[in-house]
Amino acid sequence: MIMSVRNLLNVVITSVLIAFSTQALSATEVVPLNYRTSADLLPVAKSFLGTEGSVSAYGNQLIVNAESRKIEELRSLIAQLDTAPKRLLISVDTSENAARNSSGSRVIEYGTTSREGGVQQVQTSEGTPALIQIGQSVPLTSSSTDSYGYSQSNTEYRNVTQGFYVTASVTGDTVHLSISTNHDRMSQERADAIKVQSTDSQVSGRLGEWITLASNSDQSVADQRGLAQRYSTQGREDMILRVKVETLE
């Protein structure tokens, strides 16, 4: 009889311990995010928890199911990552020659954002795409014949642009740029046609220093030290395009 009671107590105690252990493992808490999005940090949280818990996104917060100790460790990690993105000033410097085309027609040059001394600037946040666009309005002349057989010519201005979306991130004194570009150029085969080219690229360089994206040589260049990886599209031979990223306090 005494052994039966003891066995029963052991079963009860074991069940209670298992219940407490299960509750500890199945604790569910909400981790709010202040600056980064749940899409940014969800992969990090999943990797951190591994098989020790689960996490899902709900709006701009994470729903974590894990042991309380593990959740606190995750909170500490999130606090280090969920910081305000840096404010950045992106400057673009272009150098180009001819302001008139071969026929002598006037070419109108333009660009986005402010321009000081030939440098265009745009402010953005780290991780947020910014549009930089430079270009010209070029006259295109087309000919046609009216119903009476007379030849008529018509001139209209078309935008020929070189622009790109740039997304910047900063690590120490190094800036990393993800660039999606479009580059329009006049067709050599038809005077009334514009060719369009688009490319994607990754560029790295020193924070606060100029990085050459396109130059007279019109070739892709990689610095031997691996510090400044330079990128260029097929451009006019008289254009130099450089970009510089600085942090704003």
Q: What are phi and psi of 60, to 5 degrees?
A: -105, 45
Mean pLDDT of the chain: 71
Report pLDDT for 97.
40
Burial 176-203 (b: 16+ CB within 10 A, else e): ebbbebbbbbbeeeeeeeeeeeeeebeb
Q: Show the domains of the chain with their CATH numbers.
A: 2-81 (3.30.1370.120), 87-248 (no CATH)
The DSSP bridge partners found for residue 244 are 91
- 124-157: pLDDT as tens digits: 888 888 887 666 666 666 667 777 777 777 777 7
Give 37's pLDDT tier (boundaries 50, 70, 90): confident
The CA distance from 174 to 169, in Å, is 9
Comparison of pLDDT for 43 and 233, the residue scoring more: 43
Angle separating helix axes 38-49 and 68-81, nearest 10 degrees: 140
Q: What is the pLDDT of residues 164-200, one digit of tens each?
A: 788 898 888 899 988 877 665 555 555 555 555 566 7
- Spatial distance between the Cα atoms of 197 and 182, rounded to a whole number of angstroms: 6
Q: Strand pairing partners for 152? A: 144
Q: How sure is the predictor about 31, in pLDDT bands with cuts at 50, 70 and 90?
A: very high
